[in-house]
Amino acid sequence: MIIIMLGAPGTGKGTVAGFLEQQLGFKQVSTGDIFRKNIQEGTELGKLANSYMVKGELVPDDVTIQIVVDRLEQPDVQKGIILDGFPRTVAQAEALNTILAKKGQKVDMVLNLTTPEEEIIERIVSRRVCENPECKTIYNTIMNPPKQEGICDKCGGKLIQRQDDNEETIKARIATYMEQTSPLVAYYQKQGVLRTEEVSQRIGRLGKDIADDIAGEIKNGNH
């Protein structure tokens, strides 16, 4: 089963995908994590990706698509995969559909998350991530703080703030998303696989609530 996460930065795509991974056993694959790993290791791909990411711009299609295609071939995603951060453009979505069709596969669900912009900015500025690559648990110093400041509850790793988690870059990323990525909502709506959910403290519905509902439906064979 193939699930795609859509939504502006800070809507909680990674959090929802993480809960779905725990409940369903589908592998969460984030292109952002792949890029960050390469950046930390100083690879050529990492240097190239970072030159775009620090400005709040998107990494070019040809680089991103090759990473995802290689990842789809690996054995740990054959039961199911949750793509977080890809596709970002209609061109990427069309390329993905073509690749999947050759393998006799298709996108089963596109989960589109929405959150008011002021909540997004507050959420991202307050976000901390476990630097342990095997853990990567996400915390929020306001909504979901760790028991001990700066320390991961799960593995004891150090919590860090990502370089691009600042207000100026966030606003640039939201603008980029609206311009280039939001047409995907219409694209997948036409294909009949889109599901839109609002994640917001204002309505008291957070990522875990959405993940619980979807996991229950999938387990009951409703997708």
CATH assignment of the domain containing 190:
3.40.50.300
In a domain, residue 16? The reply is yes
> Over 80: is that where the pLDDT of 9 sits?
yes
134 assigned to some structural domain: no
Report how many domains make up the chain: 1
Considering just the CA atoms, what is the radius of gyration of the chain in Å? 17
Within-domain flag for 142: no
Query: At 206, which helix (H) or strand (E)?
Result: none
Residue 4 makes CB contacts below 8 A (sequence gap 6+) with 82, 83, 86, 87, 107, 109, 110, 111, 188
210 occurs within a structural domain = yes
Q: Does residue 121 form part of some domain?
A: no
Q: Which residue segment(s) compose the domain that 34 sits in?
A: 2-115+168-219
Tell me the per-residue pLDDT of 157-199, one tens digit each, with 9 for 90 and over.
999 999 888 889 989 989 988 888 889 999 999 999 999 999 9
pLDDT of residue 223: 65
Task: Name the average pLDDT for the chain.
Answer: 88
Contact (CB, 8 A) for 124 and 145: no
Tell me what pLDDT residue 42 has: 87
Q: Is residue 153's pLDDT more than 90?
A: yes
Cα–Cα distance, 18 to 137 (Å, whole number): 9
Q: Is residue 59 part of a domain?
A: yes
Note whether residue 161 is domain-resident: no
Q: Which of 163, 169, 160, 127 is nearest to 35 (CA)?
A: 163
Tell me the catalytic residues: 13, 88, 127, 162, 173
45 found inside a domain: yes
- Its pTM stands at 0.74
In the predicted model, is pLDDT for residue 111 greater than 90? yes
